[in-house]
Structure 1
């Protein structure tokens, strides 16, 4: 693996941040388009008439699972049917995502899609059994800020000390992530590129397993998402050193950003969007968009999500499709330049 800095990628990452802000600002207005509500109202009266399967391509206990389980009861109530969470982890989200891609486009299969499964995997794997084009985006749901966390007994007391140590001792330390090709993994690759350092990657099959080994001291550190790691940080079982956001998190006001440490452009998050198999009737897609955003906006649901550090982002399918296109271009460049592979 090479560790040569890539100025082109850094510039594109900065551009990406600006695009995200503009996109996020436009999503709320997009949802108010009169056509959305009217088209959703035309949904066939026979749908849904049975439980709906919601595939989460990661293990129970992680951020993806948390978001789906918070939204499912409210969304199910609005649709008048039970939403059944179906965890299908493995291969960086490819197993569950492929299962969703091969499901009928009848409105009875939903997928939590993230930047790993929808963007990174197509560059990390030589062959994938599915493609992002096998899905119709319903809309963005939330962003998961990422956190660099360490075992309290690891010897790392601050982000600046951590950065100096890993630069001085390339390859001496290792870090855990939920898996190869996950947003957490790619985020650390960006940090390594920007800091000209090297930390050994130890991939796990999900966030819960990664957290457990960091807490037990098997691996000294991890890149974690806020939904999975915040409770352990609050309990003192993990120590947060830095956040990978442009600004500090409200839940961790004393934890600096990498921007403050002098690493520009390290503004990375995991995110979750809702998808359905290609061919799902448009009225059903638009009904799902409408009801999904209603569920996310419920005060009790939004409060629970924000308590765990998630940033709720309302959105629709076309906006998410444009975002996917932008992200794919940027991250595929980084993956290529870093010579990363899941095989």
Structure 2
């Protein structure tokens, strides 16, 4: 009898603890966020990803009632930041700016990226999408894509293209461009996009194919030759598509989104999705994206966003296969 009473007593304590835990979790979700939220960006300050992250973080903070602070963890094509985010506590206080690299290209480029893009993360929402632009120095002799291709064919291995690192979208774009045109050009990887753009503007690198091209174009130090989209964009109405420039079927859109560590409670994910949706409805923020040559996302559920990411991973793997690119060891 005493043993049975002890068992019931232990069961009662366990049930009480379970109810208490659930109550605490509910209270935690209801009060979220009660402190600042960290947004990990897997790229250095000053590059396209960092700029997008900071714009969105500032606006989301207004709707969350707490600051969203960008934490740059650059390296390995975004993998360092992704691993850090995947291992963070799933409590909503660490989120990450996901990209076509972290949740697409890298899994096909690297033998081991240290995380699973789907299993180790939970969806928040899409931020924006944008095509890449082929840029050459303003004093470059190349006025068209064909000028560059002709020179590359006449001088194999002599012309260069820069990127924000091995496995970056610029690396993949350049490698795909090589494959599609049958030219031999040298890849020059940098630690991030910003120094690569600096060297293009200074004429030390012959070309880069990148997002975030509007600022260097506006500086008057680079010349845009073509964009990787099916049609021209409003921000660059005079710049042809690669189709128009003679490189058929060269389409490549980079995207930015937000993710959280796997296991983050769904009510928190929905709060973050709501804050992101409200942020992207701000006309001033939307115009900033347009000015950058990007298309800000329309409202999207977390499930629809996750479907997009998973479908995009298949397309990214095919892009890597076609390009023949592989992360250097």
TM-score, normalization: structure 2?
Answer: 0.87
Q: Which runs of 4+ in 1 moved over 4 A?
A: none
What secondary structure sits across from 1:260 in the alignment? helix
What secondary structure sits across from 1:103 in the alignment? coil
Further displaced range: 104-113 or 136-145: 136-145
What secondary structure sits across from 2:225 in the alignment? strand
> Do structure 1's residue 278 and structure 2's residue 262 form an aligned pair?
yes
Further displaced range: 330-339 or 189-198: 330-339
**Preserved CA contact (<8 Å) 2:174 2:208:** no
Residue aligning to 1:110: 95
Q: 1:215 to 1:329 in 2, by over 3 A?
A: same
Larger radius of gyration: 2
Which blocks of at least 5 consecutive residues in structure 2 are unaligned? 1-26
Q: 1:233 aligns with which of 210, 217, 221?
A: 217
Q: Equivalent residues in 2 for 1:1-343 (5 A)?
A: 44-132=29-117, 133-225=119-211, 227=212, 229-314=213-298, 315-336=300-321, 338=324, 340-343=326-329
Further displaced range: 255-264 or 161-170: 161-170
Cα distance in 1 for partners of 2:321, 2:240 equals 30
**Preserved CA contact (<8 Å) 1:183 1:269:** no
Residue aligning to 1:21: none
Cα distance in 2 for partners of 1:335, 1:341 equals 10
Note the alpha carbon deviations across 1:185-228, whole angstroms, 9 max, x for none: 11222222221222211111111110111112211211121x2x
Further displaced range: 271-280 or 314-323: 314-323
Which blocks of at least 5 consecutive residues in structure 1 are unaligned? 1-41
Q: Shift of the alpha carbon at 1:43?
A: 8.4
**Preserved CA contact (<8 Å) 2:172 2:325:** no
What secondary structure sits across from 1:341 in the alignment? coil
**Preserved CA contact (<8 Å) 1:243 1:258:** yes
What secondary structure sits across from 2:30 in the alignment? coil
TM-score, normalization: structure 1?
Answer: 0.83
Q: Shift of the alpha carbon at 1:145?
A: 2.0
Q: Shift of the alpha carbon at 1:339?
A: 5.2
Aligned positions, number: 301
Q: Shift of the alpha carbon at 1:335?
A: 2.5
Q: 1:106 to 1:248 in 2, by over 3 A?
A: same
What secondary structure sits across from 2:309 in the alignment? helix
